[in-house]
Structure 1
Amino acid sequence: MDKLLMEVLDAHGGMENWGKLTKITAHMSLGGPFWAARGWPGVYLKQTVTADPHREHITIAPFTAPDRMSVMKVVPERMAITTLDGQTVEERLNPRDSFPTPFVQESTRWDAIQVAYFTSAAVWNYLTAPFVFTHPGVEAREIAPWTENGQIWRRLAVTFPKTIANHNADQVFYYDDAFMQRRMDYSPDVTGKAPVAHYTHDHKAFDGFVFPTRRLIHLHDASGVADQGFTPITVDVASVTLDRG
């Protein structure tokens, strides 16, 4: 295992403790102009997210109506909208293949399943990082450091297999001297591979594990410099509860 990754895992709660978890429950809100541009303003104002820490299974409630939620399962990929008691309202297999192209930031509309898939895959990976980097088929290695605002951040280049639904396969994660994540770079396949610089702030410990509670998603230029004057997506986490077996 990469030495930097080992340090990061220990700083976030440790692999041994992570292995004992059975469920993650997070209360969060997602904002920014991105959602209105997809045709869904205010769709994620106050949600309860329930995730399996070891396999890509995540629910988000409410979703599109007070009595509905989204349910994502992977291998195979299945995205569903159900009632809160589990009755299927709508579902789609291989939802990733349904996204419209080309993608235009200001005008491309998504249906409810597409919005749910994009968010569910993203949030599951956010909540399980850095421990998801140890899953079968994931490759993580340290690359050259990055300097920003006088700080030097070490970086992990991570490649995800097709068995993990994510923004895209190749991503880069940045860590400070305390091994806390400060930024991640990716280029979502379903948004035309727009180059994203995703910053993480306000790290807090919940029951022995550390999670960023404020995320600001920007775009970056060809040299990696982020345009922090434009924030299409924000993610705010109010609380995280962890269940153990």
Structure 2
Amino acid sequence: MNELLLEIIKAHGGLDRWRCLSRLEATTVTDSALRGIKGLAQDEHPRQVTVWLHEERVRLKPFGDPDWQCDFSPDRVTISAGDDTVVDDRHNPRAIFVRHNGVLPWDPLDLGYFEGYALWTCLNVPFVLTMPDVDVWEIDPWNESGEIWRVLRARFPDSITTFRAEQDFFFGEDLLLRRHDYHLDIATGFDAVHLMFDYVQADGINFPTCRRIYGRGPDRRPLTPLMVSIDVSNVRFS
């Protein structure tokens, strides 16, 4: 394992601890300008998110109707009612985005697919960087208002559904994750800056509870307006 990544993993709780855990559950409140861009209504109500840590699987509840939930996996997205009746589902959901190239409005299954893989990736960092066939190397450091952040670049394999293959991860002087840069190729095709604050310790894992996502300018600085805010509470691992 990359030596810097090993120290980063220790700062976030350690790989042994992570391997003992199977799921993350939390309450999220999201405000998203991206929803408006994609023709979807805003939903600022609290939502329960369950993330399986060692397989790509996410559950979002409620989703649309107060009694509905959305289950994501890379090859299928399903919206179901409280009695387990399937409301709608889609196999091979990535193919839809390939066809409309991220330009057309989204339907709820598009949203479930995007939010599923985005949350799985972002809530699993930095531990996801230790998964098989993820290549990681250090690039030039970043100066953030006089503080030097070390930066890891990762290239994800096709076996992991995520943003574009190459993504950058910025770590503060305490080696906690501060920023995550990626390209939203299935959304509106923009480069994103995902900033993280307000760490808590949950079941031995250090976890950021405040997330703000902006477009990224040519100087790699965040652009206004704010695209997405995610506030996380009641974080627990099992």
TM-score, with structure 1 as normaliser: 0.92
> What is the distance in 2 between the residues matched to 1:151 and 1:141?
21
Contact 2:73 2:116 in 1 (8 A): no
Alignment-derived partner of residue 199 in structure 1: 195
> What is the distance in 1 between the residues matched to 2:44 and 2:120?
15
Query: 5 Å matches for 1:57-96?
Result: 57-74=57-74, 77-96=75-94
Contact 1:173 1:185 in 2 (8 A): yes
Query: 5 Å matches for 1:42-57?
Result: 42-43=42-43, 45-57=45-57
Contact 1:44 1:63 in 2 (8 A): no
**Is 2:141 the counterpart of 1:164?**
no
Contact 2:118 2:162 in 1 (8 A): yes
Residues 170-196 of structure 1: per-residue CA shift (max 9 Å, x gap): 100000011111111100110243111
Contact 1:70 1:80 in 2 (8 A): yes
114-123 or 79-88, larger mean C-alpha shift: 79-88
**Is 2:28 the counterpart of 1:33?**
no
Q: Give the secondary-structure state (helix, strand or coil) at the position aligned to 1:64.
A: coil
Amino acid corresponding to residue 215 of structure 2 in structure 1: L
Contact 2:102 2:189 in 1 (8 A): no
Q: Give the secondary-structure state (helix, strand or coil) at the position aligned to 1:230.
A: strand
> What is the distance in 2 between the residues matched to 1:189 and 1:66?
30
Alignment-derived partner of residue 190 in structure 1: 186
**Is 2:116 the counterpart of 1:120?**
yes
> What is the distance in 2 between the residues matched to 1:65 and 1:150?
47
Superposition deviation, residue 67 in structure 1:
1.1
**Is 2:95 the counterpart of 1:97?**
yes
Superposition deviation, residue 138 in structure 1:
1.0
Superposition deviation, residue 120 in structure 1:
0.8
Alignment-derived partner of residue 14 in structure 1: 14
**Is 2:227 the counterpart of 1:232?**
yes
> What is the distance in 1 between the residues matched to 2:95 and 2:7?
37
Superposition deviation, residue 86 in structure 1:
2.6
TM-score, with structure 2 as normaliser: 0.94
Q: Give the secondary-structure state (helix, strand or coil) at the position aligned to 2:63.
A: coil
Alignment-derived partner of residue 208 in structure 1: 204
Alignment-derived partner of residue 142 in structure 1: 138
Superposition deviation, residue 39 in structure 1:
2.5
Residues 125-151 of structure 1: per-residue CA shift (max 9 Å, x gap): 111111111111211111110112111
What runs of 5+ residues in structure 2 fail to find an aligned partner? none
Q: Give the secondary-structure state (helix, strand or coil) at the position aligned to 2:55.
A: coil
Q: Give the secondary-structure state (helix, strand or coil) at the position aligned to 2:4.
A: helix
Query: Could you list the runs of 4 or more consecutive aligned residues of structure 1 that deviate by over 6 angstroms after TM superposition?
Result: none
Superposition deviation, residue 103 in structure 1:
4.1
Q: Give the secondary-structure state (helix, strand or coil) at the position aligned to 1:6.
A: helix
Contact 1:197 1:226 in 2 (8 A): yes
> What is the distance in 1 between the residues matched to 2:170 and 2:40?
31
Question: RMSD value over aligned CA atoms?
Answer: 1.5
What runs of 5+ residues in structure 1 fail to find an aligned partner? none
Superposition deviation, residue 207 in structure 1:
1.5
> What is the distance in 2 between the residues matched to 1:54 and 1:92?
23
